[in-house]
Amino acid sequence: MNIAIMCSGGDAAGMNPAIKSFVENCLKKDIVPYLIYDGFEGLIDGNIKKAFYGDVTGIMHLGGTIIRTSRSKRFYDPKFRKIAYNHLKDADIDKIIILAGDGSIKGLDIFAQEYNISFVGIPTTIDNDIYGTDYCLGVDTSLNVIKNALDDIRDTSASSKRAFVVEIMGRECGYLALITALTSGAEICIIPEIEANLESIENRLKEELENGRQYILAVVAEGSNQTCNIKNWLEETLNVETRTLVLGHIQRGGNPTVFDRLMGTEFVSFSIERLLSTEHVNSVITYKNSQFEFIDINTVTSNVYTIDSRLLKQVENLTK
């Protein structure tokens, strides 16, 4: 039996531990593991290689993905999906594990339905915005990278009596910014999920500044599109020298944390077992309430992820 693994979309720390676990688990079970390089682009180009222990030695601690990833416009075209299938057929592969977000998983589902491919999607995105799972592979490392950066920013902010507006990734989801604000001791949190009350924030901060506050840290989710507005507002309303910092793709890098390494390993182990025990699979493995479960791909892609109301409640005091 041959099984392949691939990555698609944005990279995330935790992919390499998952790839290492995949190869080693397969070889122990006398399954032939294949690595699909460069995501759907590599699938179309036939960049598919049989894997051995040596291919994954020493990658557990590495960020990113050794098999690389991509976003593919060509895969939307049925003629290129046909080419991709022929490459899989040549290698006798009819089972795939994909590390990706819900868009890429949906793309693979269309392909799988056309050509009777079984697959399991492992939710992998630092945005943590996939429906049905509390956790996506890579988010813990990203949060720790952000935490380290904000700790350093607070040092210089306090030393110079400045305000810093820090833009956090996450597309349309404010999860990263919300958790960052709660765990960094920020004074302001701006996320798409909650409408900020700037008048109330102004009154609160003016009182704090009058009573000895020396600096302000504002965390802004990129999906809110408010980074420049908050900077200007701080300078004009509170008369505080303000700097803006967009953390950008540093949030995708770094050695995977212990949790992301462990979860990458467990996601893959359960996924292989699912592919072996079920005749036809088109599922996403999720982690909900500290339990692993498989849910139908349509359930994932037809619903919109929302941040836990408990977390939204906790951050309300930073939005008003």
In the annotation, is 127 catalytic?
A: yes
Q: How far apart are alpha carbons 4 and 67 in whole angstroms? A: 12
Q: Hey, what are 277's tokens?
A: 């025990």
* DSSP notation for 186-229: -SEEE-TTS---HHHHHHHHHHHHHTT---EEEEEEGGGT-HHH
- H/E stretch holding 101: none
Residue ranges with strand state E in 78-181: 95-100, 118-123, 163-168
* DSSP notation for 107-120: HHHHHHHHHT-EEE
Q: Output the 3-class SS for 230-261.
A: HHHHHHHHHCCCEEEEECHHHHHCCCCCHHHH
For residue 227, give the nearest of 182, 196, 185, 184 by alpha carbon: 196
Q: How far apart are alpha carbons 178 and 312 in whole angstroms? A: 8
- Is the separation of the CB atoms in 4 and 96 below 8 Å? yes
Q: How far apart are alpha carbons 281 and 112 in whole angstroms? A: 9
- Is the separation of the CB atoms in 40 and 10 below 8 Å? no
Instruction: Considering the candidates 38, 127, 129, 140, report the single residue annotated as catalytic.
Output: 127
Q: Which residues are catalytic?
A: 127
